[in-house]
Amino acid sequence: MGDLSIADGIGVFRGSVGDNTMHRHWAAQITIALEGTFYLEIPGLDCLPVQAAYFRPNVEHRLVTGKVCSFYFDPASRLFDHLVDPSSGLNDSWGALELTSCLKTLVNAKNPLEAILTVLRPSRTMDSRIYSVLSRIHSALNEEDYTNRFSLAEIAGMSPSRFSHWFVEQLGIPVRSYKKWLKLRLAINAMLAGESPIDAALAGGFSDQAHMSRAFAHAFGITYMSAQTAITSHKNR
Which ranges of the chain have pLDDT less than 70? Answer: 1, 8, 19, 76-78, 85-92, 120-124, 221-227, 229-237
Residue 221 placed within a domain: no
Per-residue model confidence (pLDDT) at position 34: 93
Residue 222: strand pairing partners = 20
- What's the total number of domains in the chain? 2
Per the domain annotation, does 10 fall within a domain? yes
Is 51 domain-assigned?
yes
Rounded to two decimals, the pTM is 0.72
Range of the domain at 70: 2-119
pLDDT the model gives residue 3: 79
Q: Do 31 and 140 reside in the same domain of the chain?
A: no
pLDDT score, position 117: 77
Which pLDDT value is given to residue 224?
A: 65
What is residue 229's predicted lDDT score, i.e. its pLDDT? 67
Q: Is residue 46 part of a domain?
A: yes
Has residue 89 been placed in a domain? yes
> Are 19 and 106 members of one domain?
yes
Instruction: Say if 178 falls within a structural domain.
Output: no
115 residue type, one letter: A
pLDDT value for 181: 79
Nearest one of 149, 168, 169 to 159, comparing CA atoms: 149
Per-residue pLDDT, 70 = 92
Say if residue 74 is in the same domain as residue 93.
yes
